[in-house]
């Protein structure tokens, strides 16, 4: 008898999303929720994007523009590349899938870090690949060790920059050296989902490499600083030959009418982006001060979340916070059960988190 389900599917894991608001309301009967578990934009979507979505509603009987002419041109202009360098995804998650489906062949391997964004490993395994995970060093990607680990089987390297869940970046010089050490038949994916929040002057200009034809794919998303997580739209920038092969995997019309219009409007709303970044910087300062007061170890962040050590009771503390309506991310799924990841919220949300955390820790 045939094996109904391939072994690599049987052995693969589900992606564990942060708890949705509705589920917590149902489970605990709480009305007011502070959602700091999925790194969404706490300011909400850009009002201009909301207006564009309302306008697009009248056109949802029509298929979207499969070539996404306006959005691709706009993104190309912004990044100094041609529209042929850009491919859109139903969120950047879908692009992770496209990359692996397009380029990974049987017996080839994916190289990444641990802990990092879980999807690289999950998708790699679900598609039958072997995934090599190099432990972080000082909470950052250990590029030296990763370079040593590149073998003739290595095909795709995923770097989350900034890294989810630690918030650290790979800086320009180290990345440049790493790129020099990568063989030409290996594809480097730089996932820059949180790049808009970065304040460090050492952050690499990765587009420069894509412009110069290196086998580098840069992932960007509208889900974080642009506030469109619910719409599902992201993109990759890469040399046009790589994009042309990924286009063969892409389902037609994967970027909806609503997603394309919302993204264009969000790009136009510079004020909303600036307010988002300012709120994040202020929130980070507040959190650092409070975490220092509470004597809790945390890693300086370049993203819109912060990685905090709570010790062996971290999971219980997460549960207790949830019962009070404060959702944060336990990092047990990342095999770091002593840590949590907390999205920077609005000032009152950050204060609420600190207040409940103080109370919870005092009651332990």
Binding window for ligand PLP (CB under 6 A); candidates: 90-98, 249-257, 273-281, 328-336: 90-98
What is the DSSP code (8-state) at residue 59? G
Phi, psi (rounded to 5 degrees) for 234: -150, 175
Beta bridge partners of 292: none
Binding window for ligand PLP (CB under 6 A); candidates: 21-29, 86-94, 333-341, 356-364: 86-94
Query: At its nearest, how many Å lie between ligand PLP and the CB of residue 38?
Result: 7
CA angle 183, 110, 215 (to 5 degrees): 40
Q: Is 39 in the site for ligand PLP (CB under 6 A)?
A: yes
Name which position in 204, 234, 239, 283 contacts ligand PLP (CB under 6 A).
Answer: 234
Phi, psi (rounded to 5 degrees) for 13: -110, 160
Binding window for ligand PLP (CB under 6 A); candidates: 55-63, 221-229, 253-261, 355-363: 221-229
Rounded Cα distance, 357 and 273, in Å: 29
Q: Is 193 in the site for ligand PLP (CB under 6 A)?
A: yes
- Give the contact letters, 41-80, x = binds to ligand PLP (CB under 6 A), - = no: ----------------------------------------
Considering only residues 109-128, where is the footprint of ligand PLP by CB under 6 A? 117
Q: Is 221 in the site for ligand PLP (CB under 6 A)?
A: yes
Q: Is 92 in the site for ligand PLP (CB under 6 A)?
A: yes
By CB under 6 A, the count of residues binding ligand PLP is 13
Query: At its nearest, how many Å lie between ligand PLP and the CB of residue 33?
Result: 19
Question: Can you read off the two tokens belonging to residue 350?
Answer: 């950050």
Rounded Cα distance, 31 and 25, in Å: 6
- Residue by residue, DSSP assigns 225-281 as TT--TTT--EEEE--HHHHHHHHHHSPTT-S-HHHHHHHHHHHH-HHHHHHHHHHHH
Query: At its nearest, how many Å lie between ligand PLP and the CB of residue 184?
Result: 26
Q: Is 97 in the site for ligand PLP (CB under 6 A)?
A: no
Residue among 142, 207, 211, 151 at smallest CA distance from 177: 142
Considering only residues 129-188, where is the footprint of ligand PLP by CB under 6 A? 160, 164
Which residue has the closest beta carbon to ligand PLP? 91
> Is 172 in contact with 125 (CB distance < 8 Å)?
no
> What residue has token string 């509705």?
22
Contact positions vs ligand PLP (CB under 6 A)? 39, 91-93, 117, 160, 164, 191, 193, 221, 223, 229, 234
């Amino acid at each position: 008898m045939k094996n109904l389900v391939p072994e690599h599917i049987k052995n693969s894991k589900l992606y564990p999303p942060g708890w949705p608001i509705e589920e917590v309301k149902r489970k605990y009967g709480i009305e007011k929720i502070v959602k700091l578990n999925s790194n969404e934009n706490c300011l909400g979507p850009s009002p201009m994007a909301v207006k564009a979505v309302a306008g697009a509603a009248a056109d949802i009987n029509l298929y979207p523009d499969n070539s996404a002419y306006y959005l691709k041109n706009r993104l190309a202009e912004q990044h100094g590349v041609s529209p042929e360098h850009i491919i859109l995804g139903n969120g950047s998650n879908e692009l992770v899938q496209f990359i692996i489906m397009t380029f990974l062949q049987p017996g080839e391997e994916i190289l990444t870090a641990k802990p990092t964004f879980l999807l690289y490993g999950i998708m790699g395994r679900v598609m039958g690949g072997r995934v090599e995970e190099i432990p972080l060093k000082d909470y950052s990607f250990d590029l030296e060790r990763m370079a040593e680990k590149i073998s003739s089987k290595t095909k795709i390297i995923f770097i989350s920059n900034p890294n989810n869940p630690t918030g650290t970046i790979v800086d320009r010089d180290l990345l440049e050296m790493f790129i020099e050490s990568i063989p030409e038949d290996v594809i480097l994916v730089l996932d820059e989902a949180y790049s808009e929040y970065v304040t460090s002057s050492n952050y690499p200009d990765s587009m420069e490499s894509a412009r110069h034809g290196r086998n580098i794919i840069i992932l960007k998303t509208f889900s974080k600083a642009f506030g469109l997580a619910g719409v599902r739209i992201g993109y990759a920038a890469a040399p046009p030959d790589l994009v042309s092969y990924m286009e063969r995997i892409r389902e037609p019309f994967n970027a909806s009418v609503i997603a394309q219009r919302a993204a264009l409007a969000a790009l136009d709303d510079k004020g909303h982006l600036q307010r988002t970044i300012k709120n994040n910087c202020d929130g980070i300062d507040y959190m650092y001060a409070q975490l220092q007061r509470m004597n809790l170890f945390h890693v300086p962040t370049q993203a819109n979340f912060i990685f905090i050590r709570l010790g062996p009771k971290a999971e219980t503390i997460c549960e207790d916070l949830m019962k009070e309506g404060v959702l944060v991310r336990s990092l047990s799924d990342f095999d770091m059960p002593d840590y949590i990841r907390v999205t920077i919220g609005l000032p009152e949300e950050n204060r609420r988190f600190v207040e409940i955390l103080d109370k919870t820790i005092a009651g332990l």
